[in-house]
Chain A
């Protein structure tokens, strides 16, 4: 085997309260397309950020072409020859292709020190030709298609003379034809002796384009191998292959009557044809990988986003909320995924945060807040969630992630929801708080509340849910009974593109 271009050894990255990467390995050779595979939160993005100089590893070493590397910032990484092409292309829409490509490393005339636009234009044209791309170097980036922008990003990587090109979910926004174009370019990069780190959730792509793969799970290195010598089952088992020995609270479902019926719910560009029923006392898991559209579905049920097609029935009556206030009145609560951005007003006190959804009830004639009632209310629900803080008067931003999550939960249980939607309620929080959240979810279900639980952690979905809806790329691929579901079957539905057909499932 030829000498590795990039060698990552024993790299660990610790964030407060969480080990994002734990002693991982990765080696890439020239002329190789290398797939980095793992569930959400497996540590792929963290490694990319370390390789591109955004994060600094806590420990471990990296070598590029036999030389030790250590980046202080993103520019360092670029100069060393590592360039990442991001999911969301970071470009300047009002500037031309040439200007975008040379942004940050302009060429200057050696004598006059003037920017040498002529050479830059010619080189851009040369690179575009080399990639057989039909793009005018003078056209503004805002006039290019998403796919063309991707290509320009790749050309930018070439202009930097990158040895290692990282592609993070490069095909997520591309159509089938555009994907073929991208793969053609990936192959020509490969022939030029570049190494490509390819991050994707789509197995058919990995099997088509990649030579080699490495699997991460929970921030740890699991294994690697040649794609040609492996099959889907092997890789899936590596992704999920942990025993579900974590303790989940015992939950004996007392399924009541049907409370919510979702039929053919669609939203342009986000998800299509989602149908399921939800019953009182049931925990319905919603599983999918990044980009599956889970959050978008629950945002639509809650009325934050609008559905483009489909119907919903709440307790038998047609239901299509116009906004959060509408669905809240009808007994729906949504604990959003991003607690700092969507769940809390960080600059407000815990008291004010917790009472925000129910201010109308705490007010006299909807006008004047009754401080005593408010304090009592906040105390009651805050204590129920066992929030650790210096008091309810402190600002939400002073709390740890786990305690912030408890504040968000406290904020919502007071609304006495009939349907409780939890979007990644245990993401990034410590084990003790996690257990408390699981306990809380079961308690709510036992009280007859219908729960929709979104999680990227397969064991959590399997351990908590009564039924599981699996999504892939905006489509619903399966509804499974949790008793019969296995980690393998759920993961299989989460990665396979199911052709659209009239399913009666």
Chain B
């Protein structure tokens, strides 16, 4: 019965969030590409991937915070501060290497993430409140740093602005960096002790305590990762958009959270994976990019993003409930 086994295979594959989302993505692509054949052109695909590179970096940081049963609302402000800082460093020292600017961004972001993490872990302030405060503090610091002015394209060095766009083996540096980040954190999740401990703390903090997992350390680490990746994203953002604006990346936390939720990351902590987050990011990218193709104005963008978050959360909840029911039935039976 090859037919039966195929359908059971499909069922099993669909049970995994990553596969289901990929399938949905393909299904979505069909009508879009019929409507606009150029949508699947190499050029457009490369545009989408480059557009999504920065989001995927930030979403991975957000992923670890959510995995440990928290949320980081300050990502947009950290991007703005680090982006502004690297832009101004570049303005003052036009000869400095772009790689050093990226490192500077990461360093600053790391400190900001550390501050979040220490408040959450040792100050025992809930993550949502902590980062609700720091989202404003960091945005305010951005204005203080810049004195309200911008750094524009002709105030920055060409090497910096060109850095994300330059290609290596036909792939842009920006995309290479995103791929590197994805690879590093895929490895981190699967093969390191701390990566494992994040799952344990998010899944059951009490049980983790009984085996001696240092909860505070894990909580600091997740915010540290998020802050550092936002710093990297900030430095890349300024170069890619060739300007540092005080308002940059406002509301970016919503997109990062959306990518995670879409990728099947449990909002209550403890489950989810890097691959899911990456596919979630891609999904958001395709939908955003496709809006003009299906003659929906860009004004719909945030509306659609909000809708996607709600649908994804509802689906997560339904599948969780089903799983619980199935487990109960199994135990009874």
Contacts and interface: CB of A to CB of B under 8 A. Distances in A.
Contacts of A326: 212
B332 A325 contact: no
A341 B209 CA distance: 11
Given A398-B327, A398-B330, A400-B331, A344 B213 contact: no
Contacts of B207: 336, 341-345
A16 B331 contact: yes
Interface string B198-235: 01100110111111111000000000000000000000
Interface in A310-359: 323-326, 328, 334, 336, 341-348, 352, 356-357, 359
Contacts of A334: 210
B6 interface: no
Interface stretch (B117-125, B164-172, B189-197, B303-311): B189-197
A277 B203 CA distance: 37
Contacts of B194: 367
B203 A369 contact: no
A343 B210 CA distance: 7
B270 interface: yes
A344 B204 contact: yes
Contacts of A366: 193
A181 interface: no
Given A342-B207, A400-B331, A348 B212 contact: no
B271 interface: yes
Contact of A348 (B192, B199, B210, B266): B199
Nearest to A400: B331
A39 B241 CA distance: 72
A406 to B, nearest CB: 16
Contacts of A342: 206-207, 210
A323 B210 contact: no
A360 B330 CA distance: 35
A91 B207 CA distance: 29
A169 interface: no
Interface residues of A, number: 33
Nearest to B199: A348
Contacts, number: 82
Contacts of A411: 211
B316 to A, nearest CB: 13
B200 to A, nearest CB: 5
A371 interface: yes
B209 A348 contact: no
A324 B213 CA distance: 8
A368 interface: yes
A379 B4 CA distance: 34
Contacts of B199: 345, 347-348, 352
A211 to B, nearest CB: 41
Contacts of A347: 199, 203-204, 266, 270-271
B208 to A, nearest CB: 7
Contacts of B197: 359
Given A345-B200, A369-B193, A328 B211 contact: yes
Contacts of B270: 345, 347-348
A470 B331 CA distance: 36
A363 interface: yes
Interface string A26-66: 00000000000000000000000000000000000000000
Contacts of B191: 368-369, 371
A368 B193 CA distance: 6
B185 to A, nearest CB: 14
B203 A356 contact: no
B209 A304 contact: yes
B271 A328 contact: no
Contacts of A343: 207, 210
A348 to B, nearest CB: 6
Interface string B302-333: 00000000000000000000000001001110
A324, A345, A357, A400 — most chain B CB neighbours (10 Å): A345
Nearest to A365: B193
A295 to B, nearest CB: 12
Nearest to B203: A345
B206 A341 contact: yes
Contacts of B327: 397-398
A455 to B, nearest CB: 19
9 contacts: A324-B209, A324-B212, A326-B212, A328-B212, A345-B270, A347-B270, A352-B199, A352-B200, A356-B196
Interface of B: 191-194, 196-197, 199-200, 203-204, 206-214, 266, 270-271, 327, 330-332
Given A334-B210, A345-B200, A352-B196, 12 more contacts: A16-B332, A328-B211, A342-B206, A343-B210, A344-B204, A345-B204, A347-B199, A347-B204, A356-B208, A368-B191, A398-B330, A400-B331
**Which 8 residue pairs are nearest across A and B when measured between Cβ atoms?**
A325-B212, A345-B203, A324-B212, A357-B211, A345-B204, A347-B203, A359-B193, A347-B270
